[in-house]
A and B are shown apart, each in its own frame.
Chain A
Amino acid sequence: MDLHLVWFGLLGILLAGYAVLDGFDLGVGILHPLAKSDLERRTFVNAIGPLWDGNEVWLVTFGGALFAMFPEAYATVFSGFYLAFMLLLFALILRAVSLEFRSKVEASGWRTFWDGGFFLSSLVATLLFGVAVGNAILGIPLDARGVFAGGFLDLLRPYPILVGLLAVALFAEHGAIFLYLKTEGSVQERLGRWMWHTWGAFLVLYLMTTIYTLIAIPTAVRNFESHPWAAAIVVLNILAIANVPRALFRRKYGQAFLSSTLTIACMVALFGLAIFPNLVVASDDPARSWTIYNAASSAKTLKLGLWIALVGMPFVLAYTGIIYWTFRGKVVLSEHSY
């Protein structure tokens, strides 16, 4: 068994798990300004109240697993994107405390401040994730040691920014459907419209990104030529995207949410296919790229990590299930809510 390949797949699952789960709560943050009254804003925040923290753990675990299994890639990316990661950290801190703090004082200035923090941090974090993905596909300059050899502005190129916007639209759509399922009344009506708006914005950006990738980044489609089966994921992705309006039209909102979930999972898979077998693409000299082989820990660690994952993941899935089941249904505000 090729452990490197297995770990590439497992990292993909962790990343997809993160994007799907934190995707909707980041989306709720991006849509937060749509809530008109304090009651609506509380409804928004409490829709994700019990869930967002557990969702974020997927990112923490993804980071930990990347560190453990592919330390060279982890070190290169994190130190290379230094300012971007610092910005991401501030966004994640601000987001966590905005959620925690906003309800604690009943003054409109206080709440407006933390509402702003929640919106801004969700938007910035999503944008940065997209920019990071775009840069990973495009490649970055690396030196002979495999260390990032560029500057911060090298990361702000048109393609990564386009992918960043794509991520914002996708998470907003995902969050809008999630919120629709959790709300009632006039706010739900408004969200009904926003499901369409965000889906439309996503579709436009999706087409632009696809065309850009096909024309300008030949390395990203190389794997599709050598592995024709990968086209099935593209087809699945298109079907999932197309099923969202179909399900909305037929008022099957649960199905629409599953479709946006599948869309995100497919996009993560496509991202993996675009870079495989690389983890960090060297833009100037392909021989310097960090692949799943030269960036990896020893076989012993890869195997050990697999044991840890095999023992741990069933528990993780079990209590994720318990939590989601406990907090199923429409948002009910009580004294314990945010």
Chain B
Amino acid sequence: MDVVLLSRLQFALTIMFHYIFPPLTIGMGVVLVWLEANYLRTREPIYEQAARFWTRIFALNFSLGVATGIVMEFEFGTNWAAYSRFVGDVFGSALAAEGIFAFFLESGFLAVLVFGWDRVGPRMHLFSTAMVALGSIFSSVWIVVANAWQQTPAGSHIVPILRDGAPWVVNGETMMRAEITDFWRLVFNPSTVHRLTHTLIGAFLMGAFFVMSISAWYLLRGRHLEFAKRSFTGGLVLATVASLAALVSGHLQAENVYRTQPAKMAAMEAHYRTGPGGLAVFGLPNDAEHRLDAAVEIPGLLSWMLTGDGSRAVLGLDAFRPEHRPPVVVPFVSYRLMVGSGFFFIALTVLASWLRWRGSLFRARWLLWVFVFAVVPAAIANQAGWIAAEVGRQPWIVHPPVARDAAGEPLRDGDGFVAYETAPVPMPDGTVRTMPAGLLTTDGVSEAVTSSQVAASIAMFGVIYLLLGAVWVFLLNKKIQHGPVED
């Protein structure tokens, strides 16, 4: 296998394992702040007991998030050196900002959160908890800013690298890179806000379902009832609000993806031919024949959702150059997993909230069993959303913006395909060529690394992460079995 594919596999493997933990800690952080604030307000010991219990689990998740997170920062340089050279000027700032504004905050106050119960008063402890929660949210802000820029670059331009005032040419090729032109346009690029909102909602859902899963299990076993009821209720409020918000945010996000990355939307919907589109509830993408087999469609819904008019044409994959089309099956399936899970969460949380209001929720054993396992689709939805976004971005590692005319309609190139914005590349002979204002994934990989090196590191990551995953589940189970009672 080639270095590009192996490096993509390695990145996917390491980030998917890492991404189990940040949504958990972001979501649980909110629950922890809520519990401690309630303790300060009411001084009921049950809240303190709950806060201590969830803090222990939070710390376990957090430490795995930190341990696997440092890998991500290194991998840009180790596996994607050419990409790092290209984006460092832009992307690096966001990463450095995350280090200074977020990591120090969360890892510093985590110490007080975990070890400080007997060293500081409850107010300082709540403050530290809030700082850790805030730090983990800040962290997601900068990571999403960096990622959103890769999807919808703004506030930057692509220029030749200068050496002694002239474009730097190596072996007849002009070296190019992206440079910042406007920091705030970079931060608030066309997809940042939608992406960040949706990511955070996903994280809140993850944390809430995690808390409800453990609480529901206690309720079913008849253990730690008072504690479990309070924790479950807190999680349920968060999850209900978040799952309804996810629907609105998801719709806005879909519109935004179509506006900024229409090829990705076409792939996620397996919309092969440009024209009015129905929304496929089910289907088997057939790449060879360029159609969706066995499709169960709601006619016109895709057009209506993306353009506001059920009969308007939606750009299909055929509108893009063959070499610029993303793969279809993976985005199509993962997008459906995410959206399907989202509707399931709405049904589940609304039903549970209604029963909770009626006072009969904790007697509905079958529903509590559903909640014990609902944490799995919550994790899947978070992962699937990420997969749809990143695989749908291919073959670009930095996706060039679609070129548009004054009315906002996509421009076409000489062959009738959707055109991307371009950057001028001065050549050594004085002529100027143009390149799309993005970077292909194949051009982002490290030049100095061989496929056997990457394969070896994947094998080592595989072994270590399997071990860590097993130990994590083992310790989590141990803590849950032990319960919130202190020895």
What is the interface of chain A, defined by CB distance below 8 A to chain B?
49-51, 53-54, 56-57, 59-61, 63-65, 67-72, 74-80, 82-83, 85-86, 88-90, 92-94, 96-97, 99-101, 104-105, 144-145, 147-149, 294, 297-298, 300-301, 304-305, 308-309, 312-313, 315-316, 319-320, 322-323, 326-327, 334-337
Contacts and interface: CB of A to CB of B under 8 A. Distances in A.
Contact of A326 (B95, B104, B116, B464): B116
Contact of B99 (A64, A144, A326, A335): A64
B79 interface: yes
Nearest to A319: B108
B100 A313 contact: yes
A327 B111 CA distance: 9
A61 to B, nearest CB: 4
Contact of B448 (A90, A144, A149, A327): A149
B309 interface: no
A72 B170 CA distance: 15
A89 B181 CA distance: 34
Q: In terms of DSSP, what is the predominant structure of the interface of chain B?
A: helix
A86 B110 CA distance: 27
10 contacts: A61-B104, A67-B73, A71-B89, A72-B88, A145-B170, A297-B179, A298-B89, A305-B96, A319-B109, A319-B131
Interface in B51-85: 59-60, 63-64, 66-68, 70-71, 73-74, 76-79, 81-82, 84-85
B60 A100 contact: yes
Contacts of B112: 50, 323, 326
Contacts of B487: 335
B88 A105 contact: no
Interface stretch (B117-125, B221-229, B254-262): B117-125
Contacts of B456: 83, 86
A50 B108 CA distance: 8
Contacts of B96: 61, 64-65, 67-69, 305, 308
The 7 nearest A-B residue pairs measured at CB: A71-B88, A78-B77, A68-B92, A50-B111, A312-B100, A61-B99, A79-B81
A89 B14 CA distance: 12
B251 to A, nearest CB: 34
Contacts of B116: 50, 326-327, 336
Contact of A316 (B93, B100, B118, B471): B100
Given A64-B95, A64-B96, 14 more contacts: A60-B103, A63-B74, A67-B96, A72-B85, A75-B85, A88-B74, A93-B464, A97-B471, A144-B170, A308-B93, A308-B100, A319-B105, A334-B118, A337-B115
Contacts of A322: 108
Contacts of B468: 93, 97
B453 interface: yes
A137 B87 CA distance: 27
Contacts of B70: 56, 59-60, 89, 92-93
A201 B333 CA distance: 60
Given A67-B96, A79-B77, A305-B93, A61 B103 contact: yes
Contact of B114 (A50, A59, A89, A308): A50
Nearest to A309: B100
A75 B107 contact: no
A53 B84 contact: no
A165 to B, nearest CB: 24
Nearest to B76: A67
A97 B115 contact: no
Nearest to B479: A104
Majority secondary structure, A binding face: helix
A86 B78 contact: yes
Contacts of B76: 67, 78
Interface of B: 59-60, 63-64, 66-68, 70-71, 73-74, 76-79, 81-82, 84-85, 87-93, 95-101, 103-105, 107-112, 114-120, 131, 163, 170-171, 175, 177, 179-181, 183, 446-449, 453, 456-457, 460, 464, 468, 471, 475, 478, 486-487
Quick one: which of A76, A326, A335 has the most chain B CB within 10 A? A326
Contacts of B99: 57, 60-61, 63-65
A301 B186 CA distance: 12
B179 A300 contact: yes
Contact of A320 (B87, B108, B115): B108
A53 B107 contact: yes
Contacts of B73: 60, 63-64, 67
Contacts of B114: 50, 336
Given A50-B115, A308-B97, A96 B74 contact: no
A75 B84 contact: yes
B460 A68 contact: no
A304 B95 contact: no
Contact of A89 (B74, B95, B108): B74
A105 B447 contact: no
B252 to A, nearest CB: 30
A300 B182 CA distance: 9
Contacts of B448: 76, 79-80, 82, 147-149
Contacts of B79: 79
Nearest to A49: B115
Contacts of A75: 77, 81-82, 84-85, 88, 446
Contacts of A93: 67-68, 70-71, 464, 468
A60 B105 CA distance: 13
Contact of B63 (A67, A96, A327): A96
Contacts of A105: 475, 478
Nearest to B171: A144
Contact of A323 (B74, B78, B111, B475): B111
A64 B73 CA distance: 7
B63 A336 contact: no
A49 to B, nearest CB: 6
B449 A101 contact: no
B89 A297 contact: yes
B115 to A, nearest CB: 4
Given A78-B74, A92-B67, A97-B471, A297 B449 contact: no
B446 A297 contact: no
Contacts of B475: 101, 104-105
A57 B103 contact: yes
Contacts of B181: 300
Nearest to A321: B108
Interface core residue of B79, B90, B448, B471 (most chain A CB under 10 Å): B448
A327 B457 contact: no
Given A79-B449, A93-B468, A327 B92 contact: no
A49 B110 CA distance: 11
A78 B457 CA distance: 14
Contacts of A319: 104-105, 108-109, 131
A75 B175 CA distance: 15
A76 B63 contact: no
Contacts of A101: 471, 475
A245 B372 CA distance: 60
Contact of B92 (A49, A69, A144): A69
A323 B111 CA distance: 7
A167 B446 CA distance: 29
